[in-house]
Amino acid sequence: MASGAIRRFQDRVLGPSRTGIPSTTSEIWLLGVCYKISEGESSEDADAAGCVLDAFRQDFSSLILVTYRRGFEPIGDTTYTSDVGWGCMLRSGQMLFAQALLFQRLGRSWRKKESEPPEEEYLEILELFGDSEASAFSIHNLILAGESYGLAAGSWVGPYAVCRSWESLARKKREETEVKGRSCSMAVHIVSGSEDGERGGAPILCIEDVTKTCLEYSEGETEWTSVLLLVPLVLGLDKVNPRYIPSLIATFSFPQSLGILGGKPGASTYIVGVQEDKGFYLDPHDVQQVVTVNKETQDVDTSSYHCNTLRYVPLESLDPSLALGFYCRDKDDFDDFCIRATKLAGDSNGAPLFTVTQSHRGGERGIAETSAVASSTEISGEEHEDDWQLL
């Protein structure tokens, strides 16, 4: 399918592309960084606002974009040499995971500089997401790791299956580290409502479980490692229940924020920022030819891995099936995240995205009793779990 046809299809699903910045006065949050726009009318205020918007655009364009590709080697035993029309959720997941690696290795303040040769670490990250089995986090290897969760070439899957597949792939690549060198240097932990992720109710982040995940990932060498937290959610029936939107917006203010995997049914995007009730996103639906990137080729063109076009979508129009991502660099960063998440759940007026507890003492009742925000799941004594669906 031609790229233009894909774009027309995407416009029908997500609605006509909304580009630019919705408001020139409201603050913008982009993966934990706030861009405050001056509301004054003087020339100085206008200049200051222009500088802030320029900084925002540079930050946005430095995020890693992963899109449909064509011309890659066949996936497994299939004849698929392109993921056009079905791979958008997988590409969205690649973007979130790539962003976590970028934050880990180069820091949140890193920006792509057109006038300078690319950093070796940056090229190494892009190489991990190449379109072949030789690249650790290629669509080929993600599908292979996620077969038990329904991933298959030519098939569209939801956020929960993709999150579990990333957990499986990261574990597999960690086991190969001794032989093939560093590829994944962070643990992946899925936050869900139960062990199988198939019960209703707000997911529960258990601190003891995350500690165990980190300990197992490091093979007992250290109690804590960098960790990527993935939180698959279903926040309504046909669309996101409006009660959850303030909390979704607030998560972008977390320094650990990695955004949202979400979009419309069958059309996933990677939402990286918010302004008022609009979400800025990177769109995987553009079709591009395969490009080979490696650290030995300093003059390689990496422009296809970045986007200068600001697109946004009303958050109320999102499909209720989505996933949140958070990257915690160390134990202190994780503790800070837990404090923020607990406060957010407590301020949610009975509609928490997820809750935080220290342990599973006493089974499910123990979770409710030890959670600092368990009581927030009730409104006037009446539980409100009707909008939570099976993942």
Sign of the C-alpha dihedral computed for residues 326, 169, 74 and 118 taken in this order: positive
Go through the chain and tell me how many residues it has: 391
C-beta separation of 1 from 88 below 8 A: no
Query: Which residue in 83, 88, 184, 189 is the catalytic one?
Result: 88
Read off the amino acid at residue 233: L
Q: What is the dihedral of CA 309, 60, 271, 274, to 10 degrees?
A: -100
C-beta separation of 276 from 28 below 8 A: no
Sign of the C-alpha dihedral computed for residues 313, 109, 307 and 263 taken in this order: negative
- CA angle centred on 162, ends 305 and 367, rounded to 5°: 125
The phi-psi region of residue 302 (left if phi > 0; otherwise alpha if psi is between -120 and 50; otherwise beta) is alpha
Residue 275, strand partner residues:
278
Query: Which residue in 140, 285, 319, 338 is the catalytic one?
Result: 285
Residue 60 three-state SS: helix
Query: Which residue in 189, 283, 307, 338 is the catalytic one?
Result: 283
Residue 5 three-state SS: helix
Question: Does residue 88 carry a catalytic annotation?
Answer: yes
Cα–Cα distance measured from residue 13 to residue 88, given in angstroms and rounded to the nearest whole number: 13
Cα–Cα distance measured from residue 250 to residue 276, given in angstroms and rounded to the nearest whole number: 10
Question: Does residue 285 carry a catalytic annotation?
Answer: yes
Cα–Cα distance measured from residue 203 to residue 184, given in angstroms and rounded to the nearest whole number: 26
Could you tell me which of 95, 98, 106, 94 has the C-alpha nearest to residue 139? Answer: 94
β pairing state of 382-383 and 378-379:
antiparallel
User: What's the half-sphere exposure (Cβ side, CA atoms, 13 Å) at 250?
Assistant: 17
Residue 50 three-state SS: helix
Question: Does residue 45 carry a catalytic annotation?
Answer: no
β pairing state of 187-190 and 227-234:
parallel
Read off the amino acid at residue 385: E
Segment (H or E) for 264? strand 257-264
The set of residues, in sequence order, having a beta carbon less than 8 Å from that of 114 and lying 6+ positions away, is none
Catalytic residue IDs: 88, 283, 285
